[in-house]
Amino acid sequence: MKNTALITGASSGIGKELAKIHASKGRDLILVARRKELLQALKEELVKKYNVEVQVIQKDLSVVGSSQELYDEVVQNGWEVEYLFNNAGFGGKGAFLDRELEADVVMVRLNVMALLKLTHLFGKDMKARGKGKILQTASTAGFLPGPYQNTYFATKAFVVSHTKGLAHELKGTGVTVTALCPGPVATEFAQVAGFGGSQMFDGAASAQKTAQKAYAAMEKGKTIFISELKFALLIRVLMPFMPLSITSAIIAKMQQS
């Protein structure tokens, strides 16, 4: 396998679109997700269209020990990962104390712990080789308070902060790390998180365009990439001057709409 990317959450949404972009460049893939039939269908599409090598691994990365299992399987097969796309993740609507605690624990295991472990395991190998690129799917939520989707926002704040620090540590190593920070994107996320029909996802960006922008930002070695201009302006220009109480109230209203 050559120029190989490992993509988590590859069966749909941004992960699926990243796979298509990577394959279109003649680069090989390791697709990881829970739904094997969707991965297999994507594999067949990419192999037929782009004549690349694609491996499929069915794995639920929210399960304790699964990240190490995934890494071990890749190493045992002799596959060298040059691109790591930590894309798997989910959200959940509701007041924190009213939600089932285990649901949020599982969210943290996937959104934070799996990302942390895979970045460490594959990132260490990249650093030893002196080359590699890591793309972390974060969110503009990582810059904001998150009433009524508290744990999800907190997990994305971790990804943003971790990426900033890691990018500095990796300077001069040949390895870069980029955090993709989109606003609402038209994927399965809204339904899974309990936001079906919510006004918050009206006018959501397409997964394809978001992935294209993210891939380009990763190749340029950008650290933090906010994919929509209006959200970049909100976070970088307006938010620093807004009281926390007002920001929180706006987000709370959006989550409950």
The string of pLDDT tens digits covering residues 26-52 is 999 999 999 999 999 999 999 999 999
Which residues, at least 6 apart from 143, have a Cβ–Cβ distance to it below 8 Å? 157, 160, 181, 235, 239
- Mean pLDDT across 225-248: 86
- The confidence score (pLDDT) of residue 256 equals 77
Q: Which residues pair with 176 in a beta bridge?
A: 133
List, for residues 157-202, the tens digit of each pLDDT value: 999 999 999 999 999 999 999 999 998 876 655 555 455 554 555 5
pLDDT at 135 exceeding the cut of 90: yes
The 3-state DSSP class for residue 223 equals: coil
Per-residue pLDDT tens for 68-111?
Answer: 999 999 999 999 999 999 999 999 999 999 999 999 999 999 99
Chain segment 138-156, per-residue pLDDT in tens: 999 999 999 999 999 999 9
- Judge residue 46's burial from the number of C-beta atoms within 10 Å of its C-beta, 0-12 exposed, 13-18 middle, 19 or more buried: buried
The residue-averaged pLDDT of 220-246 equals 88
Q: What is the mean pLDDT of the chain?
A: 92
CB atoms within 10 A of CB 101: 10
Cα distance between residue 229 and residue 214, in whole Å: 13
This prediction has a pTM of 0.89
Q: What is the pLDDT of residues 7-21, one digit of tens each?
A: 999 999 999 999 999
Residue 242, SS3? coil
Catalytic residue list:
152
Half-sphere exposure (CA, 13 Å, Cβ side) for 189?
26
Measure the CA–CA gap between 162 and 128, rounded to whole angstroms.
20
Confidence tier at 223 by pLDDT (50, 70, 90): very high
Does domain 4-256 bear CATH number 3.30.450.20?
no
pLDDT at 216 over 90: yes
